[in-house]
Amino acid sequence: MTQRMGGSSSATPFPSRSRGCSGRTTPGSSRSARGWHPLRRIVAAEPCPSSSTGSSRALANRERTDEPTEGPPNGIRFVTLAEHPDELGLYRADQEAFADHFGFAPETFDVWRQRRFDADDDRSRWLLALEGDQIVGFLRQVTGGEVAQVAALGTRARWRGRGIGTALLRRTFAEMARGGHHEVTLWVDAENETGAVGLYERVGMRAIVVDDTYQLELA
């Protein structure tokens, strides 16, 4: 899930990175002793190679057995932004879905549109969850490289807890598999309060890179 990270004019951020497939790590005590304090933890996740339920294996199984794609929850339908070109509706859903995230700053529609579409204008990369004609969830995938990525995933607050995020991910994983991809990664705020980390773990993803950001208050 895309995160918007922010800082403070009175503090200096310091990133620290660790790798592995065993989950979370402990922030370095030596930095804390020198006055640095943990600010935020961002995790890169992918299917763990040793996991028997990992999405990498699920993708391969779907590709081999041609299993049907998991459908959306009752009352919800999936379309791409190319099929349902409602950029203003996507903007509103995006701003609401990320409103409580660390470092979030509201954007005007024009600024948001430029950031989202100037570098990549392919509307088919966006999978939308609709209730009626209203966008209530969305996922953006990037599949241009060797490893596919989930670049953004969000559900509007009122529609959370209905399995929309899970269904969007599984639908996307199946499409990635059919396109020949066997791995998928994403970045997520480890302290996300919407349950994003648990969602990704339930679909078989595990942490592979952990970025800890420290803050030092300057005199």
| % of the chain at pLDDT higher than 90 | 43
| Residue 188 parent element (H or E) | strand 184-189
> What does DSSP assign to residue 84?
S
Tens of pLDDT, residue by residue, the chain (219 residues) = 333 333 333 344 444 444 455 444 444 445 454 565 554 554 555 555 433 333 333 332 333 323 445 689 999 999 999 999 999 999 999 999 999 887 889 999 999 999 999 988 899 999 999 999 999 999 999 998 888 999 999 999 999 999 999 999 999 999 999 999 888 888 877 777 777 888 888 888 888 777 777 777 786
Confidence at residue 45, expressed as pLDDT on a 0 to 100 scale: 57
Cut 0.85: pTM above it: no
Residues whose CB falls within 8 Å of the CB of residue 191, separated by 6 or more in sequence, listed in order: 40, 41, 102
User: What residue has token string 């932004």?
Assistant: 81
Concatenating the DSSP letter of every residue in 39-72 gives: EEEEEEEEE-TT-TT-HHHHHHHHHHH-PPPPPP
Confidence at residue 207, expressed as pLDDT on a 0 to 100 scale: 81
Task: Assign domain 11-217 to a CATH class.
Answer: alpha beta
Residues whose CB falls within 8 Å of the CB of residue 155, separated by 6 or more in sequence, listed in order: 97, 129, 136, 137, 164, 165, 194
